[in-house]
Amino acid sequence: MRAEVADAQYEQAVVDLLAVLAYGELTAFERTAADAAMTTNLADKVALAELAIAEYRHFEMLRDGIELRGANADAAMEPFVSPLEEFHAHTRPSDYLEGLVKAYVGDGVAADFYREIAVNLDPATRELVNAVCEDHGQSVFIVERVRASIKDDPRIAGRLALWGRRLIGEALSQAQRVAAERDALSALLVGGVDRPGTDLAEMGRMLARLTENHTRRMTALGLAA
């Protein structure tokens, strides 16, 4: 493959990556605000509103990153609207606790995954991806709330553990759909015609790391993974 074709493919992959992240942050903003509306506890409302605003700021950073690369952010996000909306439609929390678990477990595994991809990127893009995937301490608040609720009523732990598994299943299913449709983006992870990409052994190690972190988060919440 000629260098300029490889460059164009890399550019497309980076724009795809920033775009899926950007739309993810925009929907995270909406979801977190909806979580805030599900509680009457004012301290919780404030913590969630601040988290929602941080997510919107990430969306802005990513949108600016896309535009800086000469692409149109709306057009770039368009292919990811339907997979992300479908993920959310299939994982609509039925109550406040399910919303909190979704924010912690779902966003956690997504952030881990994007950080794994970021290792293969140019430094500026890697820095942007790592910045928006950083946990700004909001997890502490969620972990406390979920643990306290389980302590009050241990029976909910089974339902929330199932919920966590369903979240991961839906996330994998939408991720596969995106991978099948966006060749350039998949090539960032598994390599393309022009470059070897991650080999099978490394892919296995990555999946092991993602699973391990997921289990750690479920345990932190007091849930069986």
Binding site for a second copy (CB under 8 A): 26-27, 29-31, 33-34, 36-37, 40, 42-43, 45-46, 49, 52-53, 56, 59, 73-74, 77, 81, 85
- Report in angstroms how near the CB of residue 3 gets to a second copy at its nearest: 34
- Report in angstroms how near the CB of residue 187 gets to a second copy at its nearest: 26
> Nearer Cβ to a second copy, position 54 or 168?
54
Length of the chain equals 225
> Nearer Cβ to a second copy, position 85 or 199?
85
d(CA 151, CA 44): 18
d(CA 2, CA 147): 55
- Report in angstroms how near the CB of residue 207 gets to a second copy at its nearest: 32
Q: How far is CA 164 from CA 79, 108, 109, 144, 167, in A?
A: 26, 11, 11, 17, 5
Do 20 and 178 form a contact (C-beta atoms < 8 A)?
A: yes
Diameter over CA atoms, the chain: 62
> Nearer Cβ to a second copy, position 59 or 104?
59
Do 60 and 68 form a contact (C-beta atoms < 8 A)?
A: no
> Nearer Cβ to a second copy, position 27 or 198?
27
- Report in angstroms how near the CB of residue 101 gets to a second copy at its nearest: 19
Radius of gyration for the chain, computed over Cα atoms and rounded to the nearest angstrom: 18
Closest C-alpha to 160, from 146, 142, 174, 170: 146
- Report in angstroms how near the CB of residue 96 gets to a second copy at its nearest: 13
- Report in angstroms how near the CB of residue 48 gets to a second copy at its nearest: 9
> Nearer Cβ to a second copy, position 66 or 160?
66
Q: Which tokens go with 150? A: 């389980």
> Nearer Cβ to a second copy, position 45 or 115?
45
d(CA 197, CA 191): 3
